[in-house]
Structure 1
Amino acid sequence: MYAPTLYDRTRPIGSFWETTVEPGGWSALESHGALSSGENRPCDVAIIGGGITGLTAALHLARAGIEVCVLEAGTPAWGASGRNGGFCCVGATWLSQSALVKQFGMAEVGRFFQQQREGVALVQQLANEEGFEIDRQGEGELEVAHRADRWRSLETGYEFFTKIAGYPCQLWSPQELAERAYHSPEAHGGLHVGVGFGLNPLKYSRGLAIALTQRGGILYAHSPVQHWEQDGNLHRLHTPKGTLRARRVIIATNGYTPDDLHPAVSGSLLPAISNIITTRPLTAAELAAQGWKTEIPVYDTRRLLFYFRLLKDGRFLFGSRGGTWGDDSEADRYRQWMTRRLGEMFPAWREVEISHYWSGLLCGSRPLVPQIGQLPDDPTVFYALAYHGNGVATATWSGRAIAHLLTEKLTPSDLATPFRQPLRRFPLPHLRPWYVRGMFGLYGLQDRL
């Protein structure tokens, strides 16, 4: 859908997260390269995609003694899993809260958000059980009114999260926001939702990968699926060097799903670009100049929202919507725009050096909710996709859910109805880039009104 540079696995990502892990991959993963030339390996379950969804699903299957192999086109967590902003939180839909309730009913929407809350807890649980560090920061998540007239949306969110989702929440006046978190010309009160935290997404994802290999799972990096065929009751997944034969397959490729991977996913997903910059580490005096005193992850009330958080070493992470083409010249323009907007929102940091800038693809679906299930015409193929920019916790929960569906520990009815919407192609799928451009244009207009 976008410029080829966004899909080039040999191109440096340039994220700050890469500086926090061992260069070139961790030693426990070094022996897990591509399939050998001419190799024709059998396994029980093949998972396409080595991000949070695929790794979590594989880990739970390996724990259950099932022979599982993961095929990753790049290195583990090369996509959104290892380059997102590290917001372990809820959301996972582009439907408004009122639209969710209208379409699915209060009870199912409540279940939807309770299961996402389980996903937040599961992230920490897996890190504890498998013994790896995720650099957890802050408690909960903070939504900030970017204009005074957006206070009402915070009140609406408070009513929704307390009454329907059952979350602990607090409304913070502009003065309370300044006292507890920060001050800014674009901060006019906040809604603190007591579910979620910040983390290092690459440490988390790589931790899952190492745990998988230690549990006996097989991880093949640099192994994109180039051709998929069925031979009786077996799936043959052909990579550049070798072939994997599996009785069951899980699709866990999210925003980097090739349209030609399988007819069921062709044209059914809507990737969108998101960008992140980080500053150099800020001094205590610089933080005080902006009144910054929190590690809680923050986002604002815009439709095309900004999201930001203070990292462990004092850097400030600042994320936003990306472009709609994905080429280098557009990326350069967005870096300049984001640097300018950072200075406008946080004037005390207007001249602070930007240390890193990177981009990645998040993923939406036609029904605007995550999608977990089995193909109706082939129950040996499972999928878990489309987290709408909130994938750390939801992908973790979805990975476990799809593993439990495969092993029949769960039935589809155990999943909240929003998770169970079938895959649906977009009309005229080749026009999806223009759908994104139209969506961004509309949302930008709504943000200015």
Structure 2
Amino acid sequence: MTRLYHDSLYDRNTAIGSYWEASAPPLDRATPPLAADASCEVAVIGAGYTGLTAALSLVEEEGADVAVVEAGTPGWGASGRNGGFCCLGGAKLDYGAMVKRYGLAETRRFFQIQIESVDLVTGFCADKGIDADLTGSGEIILAHKPGRLAGLRAEQAQFRDLFGLDCPLLDRQALAARGLAAADFHGGLLIPPGVGLHPLKYLRGLARAAIDAGVKVYGQSPVTAVERRAGGFVLVTPQGLLKARKVIIATNGYSEEASLPALSGRLLPVLSNILVTRPLSPAEQAEQGWTDTTMCADSRRLLHYFRLLPDGRFLFGGRGAVSGSAAAAQRGLRRLRRDFEHHFPAWTGVETEYSWRGLVCLTQPLVPFVGALEEEGLYAALAYHGNGVSFTAYAGRALAGMVAGRQGAADLPAVLRAPLPRFPLAFLRKAYLAGAYGVYGLKDALG
């Protein structure tokens, strides 16, 4: 199985139709297709956050000769279509379970690099002069049922006891006082690290910096095969071959298993949908009581995530369908719109101006992977479980260090370096997902 979803999700010649595309300045650097045979020390597959960060790090810190091949345009995948949540995350595994599996010290190392990752992104934007529309401070998890408040209190204690992080618990009155009043939220847990940002402005700033540093970026150059040759690898694209001693795979949920067999059966791409409204006037914001730009998500297992954007638009996202077809996408958008209107009834008549969808990426152990694959010279960093905006800043740099030989696997938290396992009966991954959606949806409804 090369693609889990409908082919339309992988059509790199079709515009995403996102608000980010409509509002980001174009990338004013050339990214031509690979039109002839070429060679380099390190080849990177994927011009998203991970691939460009790794490439830039290898050039700036090692002076390496690096080329990036991208099936579409830089940022066409998840890096250009996410919700812009630059905050803690990267794994879906509960921290208690993580401690049992990897130990307290390694779990704390993993948590610390999440905090560092947020600082890496904001610091990079400041250093490179990237105006990525940074807004808000921290993320708030909102209890969508009264019974979920107990879970937030337990999470608050976990952050404090395991990591020494103080996360205030806000009641409904405190949320409203902050300008975060919505229907059927019963309190919220404020997790301090994090900012909202414009994903495509950040991505294009990263691409610009990489190209200016000497990274060769080839767009519209899908890799159809990775072949082992004497002295390294050959990446096959429609118009040319790229020879390299080492290869980094940074394709995340858009990995194509036919051309990347090292990842076959090891990843679970999952669809997420986003809508963005027209700009809301100050009066409309005040009518709903939502005037703050803090990033928010609810306590559902099939969560919604949302935030007020700097120009007054409202972004609201949630899970997508299982099939990936155009008809399923429309049904998913209608469901997302109903959920949006349920929580923000004052905005029921506000138009949706943009909507799109994309793939996030999970692994069977529910943690990211950064490191060497089973074949010598082949590396990957991927699977951020829907929260890779910040974590990719660490992952790309860490992988560059491993490729260059500056650091080994032991320098990374154990959470990241465990071998990437295959899903049992991998051809049933979508069936697993459909079953999980049914169970989680029932639990979310019951509270």
> One fold, TM greater than 0.5?
yes
Equivalent residue for 2:396, pick from 394, 399, 402: 399
Task: Give, in angstroms, the shift of residue 377 of structure 1.
Answer: 4.0
Equivalent residue for 2:79, pick from 71, 78, 81: 81
**Partner residue in 2 for 1:71:** 69
**Partner residue in 1 for 2:168:** 170
Q: Distance in 1 between matches of 2:445 and 2:418?
A: 33
Q: Distance in 1 between matches of 2:164 and 2:75?
A: 32
* 1:285-364 alignment runs, 5 A limit: 285-364=283-362
Tell me which stretches of 4 or more aligned residues in structure 1 moved more than 6 Å: none
* 1:16-415 alignment runs, 5 A limit: 16-22=19-25, 25-28=26-29, 31-36=30-35, 39-64=36-61, 65-378=63-376, 380-415=377-412
Q: Distance in 2 between matches of 1:18 and 1:167?
A: 36
Task: Give, in angstroms, the shift of residue 98 of structure 1.
Answer: 2.1
In structure 2, stretches of 5+ residues that fail to align are none
Q: Distance in 2 between matches of 1:436 and 1:202?
A: 29
Counterpart of 1:343, as a letter, is E
**Partner residue in 1 for 2:425:** 428
Q: Distance in 2 between matches of 1:97 and 1:186?
A: 27
Task: Give, in angstroms, the shift of residue 105 of structure 1.
Answer: 2.0
Look up the SS of the partner of 1:111 in the other structure: helix
**Partner residue in 1 for 2:416:** 419
Look up the SS of the partner of 1:191 in the other structure: strand
Q: Distance in 2 between matches of 1:338 and 1:133?
A: 30
Equivalent residue for 2:438, pick from 432, 437, 441: 441
Task: Give, in angstroms, the shift of residue 212 of structure 1.
Answer: 0.3
Q: Distance in 1 between matches of 2:164 and 2:71?
A: 39
Q: CA-to-partner distance for each residue in 1:281-307, whole Å, 9 max, x for gaps?
A: 001111111111311100010000000
Q: Distance in 1 between matches of 2:97 and 2:23?
A: 40
Counterpart of 2:78, as a letter, is A
Kept after mapping to 2: 8 A contact 1:230/1:236: yes
Look up the SS of the partner of 2:168 in the other structure: strand
Q: How many residues align?
A: 442
Alignment identity in percent? 47
Look up the SS of the partner of 2:44 in the other structure: strand
In structure 1, stretches of 5+ residues that fail to align are none
Counterpart of 2:42, as a letter, is V
Q: CA-to-partner distance for each residue in 1:360-390, whole Å, 9 max, x for gaps?
A: 0000011110001112441x11110100000
Kept after mapping to 2: 8 A contact 1:367/1:421: no
Q: Distance in 1 between matches of 2:223 and 2:261?
A: 14
Kept after mapping to 2: 8 A contact 1:340/1:350: no
Kept after mapping to 2: 8 A contact 1:167/1:195: no
Kept after mapping to 2: 8 A contact 1:147/1:187: yes
Kept after mapping to 1: 8 A contact 2:156/2:166: no
Task: Give, in angstroms, the shift of residue 406 of structure 1.
Answer: 1.4
Task: Give, in angstroms, the shift of residue 27 of structure 1.
Answer: 2.0
When the two structures are superposed, what TM-score results if normalisation uses the length of structure 1?
Answer: 0.96
Q: Distance in 2 between matches of 1:279 and 1:248?
A: 44
Task: Give, in angstroms, the shift of residue 261 of structure 1.
Answer: 2.5
Kept after mapping to 1: 8 A contact 2:28/2:208: no
Q: CA-to-partner distance for each residue in 1:87-125, whole Å, 9 max, x for gaps?
A: 001121121232222212222111111011111110111
Task: Give, in angstroms, the shift of residue 325 of structure 1.
Answer: 0.6
When the two structures are superposed, what TM-score results if normalisation uses the length of structure 2?
Answer: 0.97
Q: CA-to-partner distance for each residue in 1:14-42, whole Å, 9 max, x for gaps?
A: 100011123xx4222xx221011xx2111
Look up the SS of the partner of 1:246 in the other structure: strand
Look up the SS of the partner of 2:396 in the other structure: helix
Q: Distance in 2 between matches of 1:173 and 1:105?
A: 33
Task: Give, in angstroms, the shift of residue 10 of structure 1.
Answer: 1.2
Look up the SS of the partner of 2:263 in the other structure: coil
Task: Give, in angstroms, the shift of residue 407 of structure 1.
Answer: 1.7
Look up the SS of the partner of 1:95 in the other structure: coil
Task: Give, in angstroms, the shift of residue 275 of structure 1.
Answer: 0.2
Look up the SS of the partner of 1:148 in the other structure: coil
Counterpart of 2:234, as a letter, is R
Look up the SS of the partner of 2:17 in the other structure: coil
